[in-house]
Chains A and B, each alone.
Chain A
Amino acid sequence: MDVLADPFRFEFFRYGMAVATLAGGLCALVGTYVVLRNMSYIGHGLSHAIFGGAVASYLVGLNFYLGAGAWGVASALMVNRVARRRTIGADAAIGVITTASFALGVALISRTSGFTRNFEAALFGNVLGVGVSDLAVVGGVSAGVALVIVLLYRPFLFLTFDPEVAEVFGIPTARLDALFALLLAASVIATMQVLGVTLIAAALVIPPVVARLLTDRFRTMVVLSVLMGTISGFVGMYLSFHLDIASGAAIVLVQGTLFAVVYAVTARSRVGRKRLAGVAAH
């Protein structure tokens, strides 16, 4: 029991554990829509784009959440605008926007001495610096995103399943697309510190994919995804503490293990194989 209780003697771990657990659940919630809308690439790109804003705000002494937030909102709206055009070049255009922003962040860092440790933390996640204000931000964003998704469950479901037809049925798809882009940006910014830029995409994608392997019902998929994201955040933090590895990497490794186990089990059944085909289609 000491192994489980010991880490809680440290304040940083208590904050880190709370933030990681919330971050895992938040990414899994938003990620369900990201996966089903085939937006995994956008989630990956957005996290990289926001990195540029995070570095720039650090260098000019601006609050991380303000700087990265403004940059993230601008990137999300730009990416959403490009994606909605549904032209052949949308992926390429998103790649240009997001990687250019990431490159700007790397360029700014390479000009700044003594930033290596923060650089690694931003890329791979680190909970050492997490304090009560970070917990408040992640908690607030998690509550806000969950509230919006619960309230707008019905139109978001229609939009995710069939965006073109949803418009005919009176769903304001353009406004909901923009709102979802903002929710995604807020989630990425809030979880960047604990998960790291390079691993957020995995935290967005793996729990929903595992949940998809286990159910054919949308609502059940959302619940299972959040449950798995939350548990992997919690377990990952323990691993991070005991194995002395980056928090983001530990959380994603737990999710990867979950995926491997569920994949191996479901691949044996006929229903499971059909769901696997479903995952491949997303």
Chain B
Amino acid sequence: MPVDGAALATLSEVSFAYEHETVVVDIDLELTTGSLRGIVGPSGSGKSTLLKLLGGIVQPTIGTVTTAPQLRIGYVPQVETVNWYFPVTVDEVVLMGSPARRLGVGYTTEEKARAHQLLHDLGIGHFEHRHIRELSGGQQQRVFLARALMADPDLVLLDEPMAGVDVKTRQDVLAILRTLAGDGIAVVLTTHDLNSVAAHLPAVVCLNRRIIAQGPPATTLVPDVLLETFGAEMELIEHEGHPIVIDKHPESTVIPRLRRADGRPG
């Protein structure tokens, strides 16, 4: 584990394009041990691509990604990208994350014990022999978080971990991530849930192909930044020192009212 506060991954003036379509532009970002950061932005703003750049899945078209030597990364994919029909059980998925590069079929007793402990710690120990499809959305998220932790990571990347989960699961996942950060693991997640970011995370990155702003939610989630990031007007109120983001009333938007086929107002 690198020393406290050490830089784990640094993106310097990074841009990335698929074929001829630019996805992210001129990104500067530094992740240090124990940091906990949420990336917010509209669909297509480059959130997942930013995670892929950090994970080394894609390489920057311009700029550099520098990582600490021997950096271990755990990655939790979007649930929509998982093949839920693949013939694999919960424990098999978690064991995939083992950092040991052993030859042969099967896993050691120590690896199995570690996987069992992680599943138990995440509250899904009794599901370990179930097929992954048989779990609820929140339980499935925990399986992939367990796989990421099985790698004994310095950095955990989570792509939309709060999508489609209930409030209790969302709070549980965020509590787990805060614990990980407290243990010195850097955590980066993408989300559309601005209020969860505001309430639970110490730092946020507003992204719309480029970084619009980054910093603590209280100073970053402000109307001008949100308008530039999402292209939509939002109001903010404060609750116990955290900003709460509210959509503006529909009547104040510029979208014209729908009309019926006969031309009369709908």
Q: Is the CB of A165 within 8 A of B92?
A: no
Can you add 11 more A-B contacts, CB < 8 Å, to A165-B75, A216-B88, A218-B88? A36-B87, A153-B105, A154-B102, A154-B105, A162-B82, A162-B96, A165-B77, A216-B87, A217-B88, A274-B133, A278-B86
Are A161 and B133 CB-contacts (below 8 A) given A169-B151, A217-B88, A217-B89? Answer: no
Nearest chain-A residue to B72 (Cβ)? A170
| A145 CB–B CB distance under 8 Å | no
Tell me the total A-B contact number using a CB cutoff of 8 A: 82
Contacts of B98 on A, CB cut-off 8 Å?
A: 154
Interface string of A269-282 (1 = CB under 8 A from B): 00000100111011
Q: How far is the CB of B118 from chain A (nearest CB, A)?
A: 15
Q: Classify the secondary structure of B's interface with A.
A: loop
6 cross-chain pairs, A with B, having the tightest CB-CB distances, nearest first: A278-B85, A281-B85, A168-B55, A168-B75, A216-B131, A153-B105
**Is A5 in contact with chain B by the CB < 8 A criterion?**
no
B86's partner among A36, A166, A274 (CB-CB below 8 A) is A36
**Minimum CB–CB distance for A155 against chain B, Å:** 8
A-B contact pairs, 17 of them (CB 8 A): A36-B86, A36-B87, A150-B104, A151-B103, A153-B105, A157-B96, A161-B88, A161-B96, A165-B57, A169-B97, A169-B151, A170-B99, A215-B87, A216-B87, A216-B88, A217-B88, A277-B85
How distant is the Cα of A152 from the Cα of B93 in the complex, in angstroms?
A: 16
Interface string of B126-144 (1 = CB under 8 A from A): 0000010100000000000
* 0 or 1 for each of A159-173: is its CB under 8 Å from B? (1 = yes): 011101111111000
Number of interface residues, chain A, beta carbon within 8 A: 33
Q: Does B83 contact A (CB under 8 A)?
A: yes
Query: Which residue of A has the minimal Cβ distance to B85?
Result: A278
Interface size on B, residues (CB 8 A): 32
Q: Cα distance A190–B73 when bound, in Å?
A: 40
A278: nearest residue on chain B (CB-CB)? Answer: B85
- Chain A residues with Cβ below 8 Å from B77 are 162, 164-165
Asked if A12 CB lies within 8 Å of chain B CBs, one says no
* Chain A contact residues, majority secondary structure: helix
CB neighbours (8 Å) of A217 from chain B are 87-89, 92
Cβ of B151 and Cβ of A167 under 8 Å apart?
no
Is A263 close to B, CB under 8 A?
A: no
Cα(A93)–Cα(B175), bound, Å: 48
Query: Distance in Å from the Cβ of B28 to the closest Cβ of chain A?
Result: 22
Provide the bound-state CA to CA distance between A220 and B89, in Å.
11
B56 in the interface, Cβ–Cβ < 8 Å? yes
* Chain A proximity of B85: nearest CB distance (Å): 4
A216 to B90, CA, bound (A): 11
Establish whether residues A150 and B105, one from each chain, have CB atoms under 8 Å apart when the complex forms.
yes
A residues near B57, Cβ cutoff 8 Å: 164-165, 167-168
Task: Enumerate chain A residues within 8 angstroms of B92, measured Cβ to Cβ.
Answer: 157, 217-218
Binary flags per residue of A16-58, CB closer than 8 Å to B gives 1, else 0:
0000000000000000000010000000000000000000000
Of B56, B85, B102, B105, chain A has the most CB atoms within 10 Å of the CB of: B85
Shortest Cβ gap from B110 to chain A (Å) = 15
